[in-house]
Structure 1
Amino acid sequence: MSQHNPVILFILLLAHQTASLIPPKFQWKTIDFAWDGAQKEAAISSGRFIAANNMPTGLARWKDKLFITIPRWKTGIPSSLNYVYLNGSQQAPLNPYPSWEEGCLTDDGTVMSNRTVVSTFRVYVDKCDRLWVVDNGVADMAAGVKQITEPALLIFDLKTDHLLTKHVFDESVLRESSVLTSVVADLVGHDCTNCDASCTMRGKTFAYITDMGSNAIIVYDLENNNAWRVENPYFHFDPHAGVYKVGGIDFYWSDGVSSAALGPPAEDGYSDLYLHPTSSTKQFKMSTRLLRNKDTPHADIFNGVEIVGDRGPKSQVTACDYDPKSNILFYTQVCKNGLGCWNIDKSFTKANTPVILSDCNLMEFPNDVKVDHEGNVWILSDRQSRFLYETMDYNDVNFRVLTAPADRLTQGTTCQGK
Structure 2
Amino acid sequence: MAKFSVLLILFVLYQAAALIPPKFQWKVMDFAWACDDCCQEKKCALGNETYIPNNNMPTGIARWKNKLFITIPRWKKGIPASLNYVYLNDTQDAPLHPYPNWREGCLTQKDSVVSNRTVVCTFRIHVDKYDRLWVVDNGVTDMATDVKQVTNPAVLVFDLNTDQLLKKYELGADVLRDSSMLTSITVETVGKGGANSTAYAYITDMGSNAVIVYSLHDDEAWRVENHYFHFDPHAGVYKVGGIDFYWSDGVSSATLSQPKKDGYCDLYLHPTSSTKLFKMSTKLLRDKNAPQEDIFNGVEIIGDRGPKSQATACDIDPITNVMFYTQVCKNGLGCWNMDKEFNQANTPLILSDCNIMEFPNDVKVDQEGNLWILSDRQSRFLYESMDFKQVNFRVLTAPTNILVRGTPCEKKVLKGSPFISSKLK
**What range is the shorter-chain TM-score in?**
over 0.9
1:301 and 2:295 correspond: yes
Q: Give the aligned partner of residue 307 of structure 2.
A: 313
Of 258, 275, 280, 2:274 maps to 280
Displacement of 1:267: 1.2
Displacement of 1:8: 5.5
Please say if residues 19 and 396 of structure 2, whose CA atoms lie closer than 8 Å, have aligned partners that are also in contact.
no
- Deviation string, structure 1 residues 322-364 (Cα, Å, up to 9, x no partner): 1101101100000000000001111001111111100000100
Q: Give the aligned partner of residue 155 of structure 1.
A: 157
Structure 1 Cα separation of the partners of residues 51 and 13 of structure 2 = 35
Please say if residues 22 and 404 of structure 1, whose CA atoms lie closer than 8 Å, have aligned partners that are also in contact.
no
Matches within 5 A, 1:4-153: 7=5, 10-21=8-19, 23-35=21-33, 36=35, 37=37, 38-153=40-155
- Deviation string, structure 1 residues 160-199 (Cα, Å, up to 9, x no partner): 00000000001110000000000001001335xxxxxxx3
- Given residue 396 of structure 2, which amino acid in structure 1 is its aligned partner? L
Aligned length: 408
- The normalised TM-score by structure 1 is 0.96
Q: Give the aligned partner of residue 362 of structure 2.
A: 368
Structure 2 Cα separation of the partners of residues 4 and 135 of structure 1 = 49
Q: Secondary structure at the match of 2:261?
A: coil
1:405 and 2:399 correspond: yes
Structure 2 Cα separation of the partners of residues 290 and 178 of structure 1 = 22
Structure 1 Cα separation of the partners of residues 264 and 11 of structure 2 = 41
- Deviation string, structure 1 residues 15-62 (Cα, Å, up to 9, x no partner): 232011453000000000001322100000001000000000000000
Structure 2 Cα separation of the partners of residues 175 and 356 of structure 1 = 38
- Deviation string, structure 1 residues 242-283 (Cα, Å, up to 9, x no partner): 000000000000000001000011111001100000000000
- The normalised TM-score by structure 2 is 0.94
- Deviation string, structure 1 residues 89-148 (Cα, Å, up to 9, x no partner): 000000000000000001111001000000000000000000000000000000010000
Structure 2 Cα separation of the partners of residues 20 and 345 of structure 1 = 27
Q: CA RMSD in A?
A: 1.3
Structure 2 Cα separation of the partners of residues 242 and 190 of structure 1 = 42
Matches within 5 A, 1:120-269: 120-190=122-192, 199=194, 201-269=195-263
Q: Secondary structure at the match of 2:202?
A: strand
Q: Give the aligned partner of residue 419 of structure 2.
A: none
Structure 2 Cα separation of the partners of residues 330 and 343 of structure 1 = 9
1:359 and 2:353 correspond: yes
Question: Which segment drifts farther, 149-158 or 8-17?
Answer: 8-17
CA spacing shift, 1:152–1:177, aligned 2, 3 Å: same
Structure 1 Cα separation of the partners of residues 83 and 325 of structure 2 = 23
- Given residue 406 of structure 2, which amino acid in structure 1 is its aligned partner? G
Structure 2 Cα separation of the partners of residues 73 and 7 of structure 1 = 40
Q: Secondary structure at the match of 2:18?
A: helix
Structure 2 Cα separation of the partners of residues 399 and 205 of structure 1 = 33
Structure 2 Cα separation of the partners of residues 240 and 25 of structure 1 = 36
Structure 2 Cα separation of the partners of residues 146 and 9 of structure 1 = 51
- Given residue 96 of structure 1, which amino acid in structure 2 is its aligned partner? P
1:381 and 2:383 correspond: no
Q: Secondary structure at the match of 1:11?
A: helix
Structure 1 Cα separation of the partners of residues 180 and 4 of structure 2 = 44
Structure 2 Cα separation of the partners of residues 333 and 396 of structure 1 = 22
Structure 2 Cα separation of the partners of residues 98 and 83 of structure 1 = 9
Displacement of 1:9: 5.5
- Gaps of at least 5 residues in structure 1 are 192-198
Displacement of 1:401: 0.2
- Given residue 16 of structure 1, which amino acid in structure 2 is its aligned partner? Y
Structure 2 Cα separation of the partners of residues 414 and 310 of structure 1 = 16
Q: Give the aligned partner of residue 292 of structure 1.
A: 286
- Given residue 178 of structure 1, which amino acid in structure 2 is its aligned partner? S
CA spacing shift, 1:290–1:4, aligned 2, 3 Å: closer
Structure 2 Cα separation of the partners of residues 5 and 41 of structure 1 = 56
- Given residue 321 of structure 1, which amino acid in structure 2 is its aligned partner? D
Q: Give the aligned partner of residue 196 of structure 1.
A: none
Structure 2 Cα separation of the partners of residues 189 and 232 of structure 1 = 29
Please say if residues 23 and 403 of structure 1, whose CA atoms lie closer than 8 Å, have aligned partners that are also in contact.
no
- Given residue 166 of structure 1, which amino acid in structure 2 is its aligned partner? K
Q: Secondary structure at the match of 1:273?
A: strand
Structure 2 Cα separation of the partners of residues 358 and 190 of structure 1 = 40
Structure 1 Cα separation of the partners of residues 392 and 133 of structure 2 = 27
Structure 2 Cα separation of the partners of residues 291 and 416 of structure 1 = 31
Q: Give the aligned partner of residue 422 of structure 2.
A: none
Q: Secondary structure at the match of 2:174?
A: helix
Please say if residues 184 and 207 of structure 1, whose CA atoms lie closer than 8 Å, have aligned partners that are also in contact.
yes
Displacement of 1:7: 4.6
Please say if residues 15 and 403 of structure 2, whose CA atoms lie closer than 8 Å, have aligned partners that are also in contact.
no
- Given residue 94 of structure 1, which amino acid in structure 2 is its aligned partner? L
